[in-house]
Amino acid sequence: MIYPAEPFRIKSVETVSMIPRDERLKKMEEAGLNTFLLNSKDVYIDLLTDSGTNAMSDKQWAGMMMGDEAYAGSVNFYHLEATVRELFGFKHIVPTHQGRGAENLLSQLAIKPGQYVAGNMYFTTTRYHQEKNGASFVDIVRDEAHDATLNVPFKGNIDLNKLQKLIDEKGAKNIAYICLAVTVNLAGGQPVSMENMRAVRELTSAHGIKVYYDATRCVENAYYIKEQEKGFENKSIKEIVHEMFSYADGCTMSGKKDCLVNIGGFLCMNDDDLFSQARELVVVYEGMPSYGGLAGRDMEAMAIGLREAMQFEYIEHRIKQVRYLGDKLKAAGVPIVEPVGGHAVFLDARRFCPHLSQEQFPAQSLAASIYVETGVRSMERGIISAGRNKETGEHHKPKLETVRLTIPRRVYTYAHMDVVADGIIQLYKHKEDIRGLRFTYEPKQLRFFTARFEYI
């Protein structure tokens, strides 16, 4: 594997420092063993998320100075609108403060209580909005996505047989829409093939079912199609992205990922009536339809960043920097989700901590241990993130119990990845010391953000 050098020069730096282990242990305990509750100044390398943690380019910063902060009709909105129309191909765009704002709008407008939303694995905030508006989520991702050890391409694909079975059992009119994520975060950042997108579009069209993409990491997905799917090797990332969205009725987008900004998102659709309703509803939750909770300067940076993300040199380095970390860990025998996805390396906490049952929250404890031992902040993606069944109150128990090492875009170097890998490799050598946890405080909604724990 050849790992390309960073396709940028560093012009501005932010100083970070490592606090001593004893102090990190104290900070972790004060945070209730939840990495979300740490103060960022106490973190050496922050791999909590790639959401809004990107480094912006000189052109984006220059664009920030051209922010039109008009309350209505901002020039920057029209630039963003034209950019999204060109690159994604959708007719309408409604800006929101971030991706979950778009999820909120879509869920309220497209779901009738008692309906089903099917998708290629859930995502936390997405499922929350769907369930809050009366839908039941049905996972129709291919079975291979739930097996961390299988190294097969396009593990994010929808299983067409599962989709057909759902249609046969529930009826097409009872399916609000299909939520197709590109890529699939909780499966390890796994991509979806263009062939699968076409097939999903063909099947849903035959039954009059809408398809909305979670487009958060669509550029990363496009890279995998170019790299691994026959017939796309000579197509540009821009061409691939445009074709991907041609098989959808709309999308939700968190601009904090593949738009290379720190805040922002949008909802896209082709349906005129849905757009009219979305314009009315966005005023209630976000702001005017021409700013949607964003400053004009943020919309300008998002429009510029989306074009920069389409550059092959950028996305090749992005994907392969993540692979570099995964390859180092795998070579040392550290169990990870395979293949390595586009935005993060996922540690397989079941195999990392075989001495802990899932009810002892191994991924949550592993994330806390990684911080204490290395100063690196990661996050749990397992039983804590999955939450509880809204009807039975029992824990959802996903097959994947993981810790996500999420790489911000254009922020860290390969040397930082070396530090992360070396620290985790050393921790793996005494993994038996990692202890199980229990709740001391459990929020009712999206508990992984603010829950607190103690050692059993």
Please report the pLDDT score of residue 189 as a whole number.
Answer: 97
pLDDT over 70 percentage in the chain: 100
Across 81-101, average pLDDT: 98
Please report the pLDDT score of residue 1 as a whole number.
Answer: 86
What's the mean per-residue pLDDT of the chain? 97
Across 238-247, average pLDDT: 98
What span, in angstroms and rounded, lies between the C-alpha atoms of 33 and 306? 36
What span, in angstroms and rounded, lies between the C-alpha atoms of 202 and 204? 6
pLDDT by residue (tens digit) across 15-29? 999 999 999 999 999
Please report the pLDDT score of residue 395 as a whole number.
Answer: 95
Please report the pLDDT score of residue 363 as a whole number.
Answer: 98
pLDDT category, 342, cuts 50, 70, 90? very high
Q: How far, in whole angstroms, is CA 410 from its chain's centroid?
A: 17
pLDDT exceeds cutoff 90 at 319: yes
Task: Compute the C-alpha angle 48/53/56, nearest 5°.
Answer: 160
3-state secondary structure of 95: strand
Output the six-digit token pair for 144: 């291979």
What span, in angstroms and rounded, lies between the C-alpha atoms of 442 and 360? 14
> Do residues 185 and 219 make contact, with C-beta atoms less than 8 angstroms apart?
no
Count helices and strands (H / E) in the chain: 16, 14
DSSP 137-160: EEE-B-GGGG-TT---S-TT-B-H
pLDDT by residue (tens digit) across 93-112? 999 999 999 999 999 999 99
Find where tokens 């190294």 sit: 151
Contacts of residue 87, defined as CB under 8 A and 6 or more positions apart, other chains included, come to 238, 241, 242, 306, 307, 310
Phi, psi (5° rounding) for residue 340? Answer: -65, 135
Please report the pLDDT score of residue 169 as a whole number.
Answer: 98
Element (H, E) at 177: strand 175-181
Across 368-387, average pLDDT: 97
- Comparing CA positions, the residue from 193, 121, 123 lying closest to residue 157 is 193
pTM of the model: 0.96
What span, in angstroms and rounded, lies between the C-alpha atoms of 299 and 66? 10
395 forms beta bridges with 388
* Active-site residue set: 71, 123-124, 214, 257, 381, 448
Please report the pLDDT score of residue 373 as a whole number.
Answer: 97
Phi, psi (5° rounding) for residue 83? Answer: -65, -45
DSSP 421-438: HHHHHHHHTTGGGPPPEE
Please report the pLDDT score of residue 393 as a whole number.
Answer: 93
pLDDT category, 391, cuts 50, 70, 90? confident
Please report the pLDDT score of residue 325 as a whole number.
Answer: 98
Name the amino acid, one letter, at 307: R
pLDDT exceeds cutoff 90 at 390: no
Please report the pLDDT score of residue 85 as a whole number.
Answer: 98
Number of C-beta neighbours around residue 129 at 10 A: 21
pLDDT over 90 percentage in the chain: 99
pLDDT by residue (tens digit) across 123-158? 999 999 999 999 999 999 999 999 999 999 999 999
Across 200-206, average pLDDT: 98
pLDDT exceeds cutoff 90 at 382: yes
Q: What is the DSSP letter of 407?
A: -
Classify residue 168 by burial, with Cβ atoms within 10 Å: 0-12, 13-18, 19+: exposed
